[in-house]
Chain A
Amino acid sequence: MASTIRVRATSNGEITEVQALIQHPMDSGFVKDAKGEIIPPHFIQQLTFEYDGKPVFLADWGGGISKDPYVKFAFKGGKKGDDLKVSWTDNKGASDSTTAKIG
């Protein structure tokens, strides 16, 4: 199965800039469907980026993050060719993870 996570991590030698795009409905639980029924909440709660065995960025999200979430951050260090591990879990207990190469 294709990963839900797309990551681009690029190092300029000093700082690694990370952009991630995740496929997820991010239903807040406040929206009604065409039949007027509430779409139950279904959203990513935690997203973690790990480099060299240590978290470099941790996100706690609510249903107020847009569908197919995007996030961008940067951290000091990170070498070209090294791995960056990304993982998420949602409020229904589903999860996904991927490992990207820093470019």
Chain B
Amino acid sequence: MNITDNKLSRRVILQGAGALALVGLGNLPFGAPVLAAANDKYPEDAFKQKSDADAIKALYGKTAETSDKIKLDAPEIAENGGVVPVSMTTTLADVSSIAFVVAENPIVLVAAYKIPAGTVPAVANRIKMAKTSKVTVLVEAGGKLYRTDKEVKVTVGGCGG
């Protein structure tokens, strides 16, 4: 489950190439080339998991504790499972990552967002829901993982086309 190795090597290669290109152009390479992006590999494995516990483990490698400092805004009833507006905010400090999981979807992980320092820990997006399900938002803050859940009833599933 350790994805660090791959992503580092890819990053190093890319940074190396970037630095070379810049030198070639007669520019000095930046002192700290896009550091936050050291983390930018697509979490392929997490996007294959079929249970919320497995997806959380694949993405973060730890379990989440429920927090009342996260506010998850989702409709009680979604008439169209193909487009369910979901948003979240949190008062937790040092947020580094936010993810949305729909337990009853065939692939449970919907989105994972990296939040660099200086970015407000609040996201709105529109997700698909196959059927009535628990919707979970995960927040990684200060190295710990927190969650809040909400049940959303779906009257027409988002996978029927």
Contact = CB atoms under 8 A, between A and B. Distances in A.
Interface of A: 15, 28, 30-33, 39, 45-46, 48, 53-67, 69-77
Given A33-B161, A63-B107, A67-B82, A56 B118 contact: yes
Contacts, number: 117
Interface of A is mostly: strand
Task: Give the interface residue-count category, chain B.
Answer: 35 or more
A56 B109 CA distance: 22
Contacts of A62: 47, 107, 109-111
Given A46-B40, A66-B83, A76-B119, A58 B111 contact: no
Contacts of A60: 42-43, 47, 111-114
A57 B160 contact: no
B118 A74 contact: no
A49 B40 CA distance: 12
A50 to B, nearest CB: 8
B161 A32 contact: yes
B123 A31 contact: no
B107 A54 contact: no
B111 A72 contact: no
Nearest to A53: B34
5 contacts: A30-B106, A55-B34, A61-B111, A70-B125, A72-B87
B118 A75 contact: yes
A66 B87 contact: no
Contacts of A70: 124-126
A5 to B, nearest CB: 15
Nearest to B106: A30
A74 B119 contact: yes
Can you list the 10 inter-chain pairs with the closest CB atoms, starting with the nearest?
A64-B110, A72-B124, A58-B114, A66-B126, A74-B120, A75-B119, A60-B112, A31-B161, A62-B47, A66-B83
A71 B88 CA distance: 12
A63 B161 CA distance: 13
B34 A69 contact: no
A57 B121 CA distance: 10
